[in-house]
Each structure stands twice: as C-alpha cells, then as structure tokens.
Structure 1
C-alpha cells in the first residue's frame, strides 16, 4: 500500500510536531533539573495548582496518564512535601502544600519564558494562527 500525497504531507506535519515537542521537552527537562523536576512533574504540579483540591482520578483524566503513573508521582510528591492529600467522604483530594507552591513560584516564570522563547522566530500573527490550529487539532 502507498500513501497518497495528502497523507504524506500530513505524516510529515505530524513528524515535525513530534520532533518539536521532543526538542522542547528536552530543553525543559534540562532547565527543570535544578528544581528536581521534569516536564511531567512540572505539568502535574501545575494542574494540581490550577484545579486544587482535585482527586487523583480527575488529575489522571486531565493529564491523560494511567492510574499507576499518577499514583507513583503523587506518592513521590507527598514524600517531597509538595502536596497533601485529604480524605473527604470516599475521595482523597490533592492540594499543594506551601512548599509545593513555593517550588512552582520559583520555576514557573522562568519555565514559561523558556517555552515562549521557542516561538521567537515566528511573527505575532503566526503565533496566533498556530494557537488556533493547535486548538483545532485538540478537538
């Protein structure tokens, strides 16, 4: 079987996006090392911050992670003193501790600047267009 020209172009586009994400994650992981974080941990802490209190199940659904993956990181975050879990009825709710909030406060701005700089070679109009296309792809 052969791919059509349209399928080849779409595949090329997907591969470019994949390489972009990998490069971006590599840069972020290198930067976040100094905070004992990586992209996955940073993303999870940020989601906890934005949605706290949040259940482990809700967190996994938002991040598209397995129960085991979420559970492992949550245990580590609790050990590191970054989060707390509180039982309410049958659910355990996760929130950041002051220490977890301080960690995010320390690295969030610089991490955001690092990620934003990836788009420096695009015009403002191209960035807006890319944002619209990205949202469309997520539907």
Structure 2
C-alpha cells in the first residue's frame, strides 16, 4: 500500500472514531441537558476561572463564533456569569453551573474512558504515544506554514 493511501485510510478511520465518539457523547450529555460544547465550556471555565472570553475560545473544540452564542445560552440558564472588566469579559461558573458540572462530570469522564475498554493497557499507552507524536508533527507543520 502506498504512503498516500495509508495516510488517507488512517485519516478516515480516525475521523470515523471521533465522529462515533462525539455522537455517543452527545447522547450521553443530552440526558443531563447539555451539549458537548456546553459541557466543554463548563469544564474549561471551571478549570481556568476567571477566564476571558478570548482565552476560553482558544481552549474549546468549537469555532470562536459559536462561543458567544453558547455563553449567552449558558448565562440565560444561570450556569455562567460574564463580567465586563475594562475591555474584557471574564467568565465564571455560578453556583448552579458548578453543581451542574459536578453532577455530570464524573459520569462523562467514566463514559469517555470506557470508549477505550476494548484496548489493553499497553495498547492504550501506545495509542497515546502515537497520538502525541502525530500532534507534535502536526504542530511543527503548522508553524512552518505560518
């Protein structure tokens, strides 16, 4: 098999696994009334609060244009608070947001970890090593293109 064909097969397989996981994760989080991007926002805000909207956008798996919409919805639901400080908006979790995150996070973490139950511990470590290597290579290629 040539290099290009192998690369395409790897990319398609990785994309399919990601899409399957995302779909299953969305269904799991829907039970708690959250979407994956909303959960991601709550988790990132909790880990880095107070965080600016710009900083938050850089940490998320959603487009920057979606951040404002998602934050507005979470704010309307009373899960986050945005405070204007000079030229920046700082985001924090409300007590209701912290409670929602604490209620769903352990189950979501267990759910995500279970996606890899079909692998041995050695295979998990090898997959993690290979993904880190791939990510490092991708970062190097991105910086050489800039």
- Normalising by structure 1, we get a TM-score of 0.91
**Is 1:107 the equivalent of 2:107?**
no
Q: SS state of the match for residue 116, structure 2?
A: coil
User: Equivalences for 1:42-81 in 2 at 5 Å?
Assistant: 42-63=39-60, 65-81=62-78
Matched ranges for 1:113-132 at <5 A: 113-132=110-129
For the residues of structure 1 that align with 2:113 and 2:62, how far apart are their CA atoms? Answer: 25
Distance 1:39 1:110 in 2: 13
- RMSD (CA atoms): 1.4
Structure 2 stretches lacking a partner, 5+ long: 137-146
Aligned-residue offset at 1:66: 3.4
For residue 16 of structure 2, the aligned residue among 19, 23, 48 is 19
Secondary structure, counterpart of 1:94 in structure 2 = strand
For structure 1, the 5+ residue unaligned runs are none
Indicate yes or no: 2:122 matched with 1:136: no
Aligned-pair CA distance for 1:64: 5.2
Displaced runs of 4 or more, over 4 A: none
CA deviation after TM superposition for structure 1 residue 80, in Å: 0.4
Q: TM-score, normalised by structure 2?
A: 0.87
1:86 aligned to 2:110?
no
Bigger shift: residues 57-66 or 71-80: 57-66
After superposition, the C-alpha distances for 1:89-139 in whole angstroms (9 at most, x for unaligned) are: 221100111111111111111111111111111110111111122222223
Worse-superposed segment, 102-111 or 127-136: 127-136
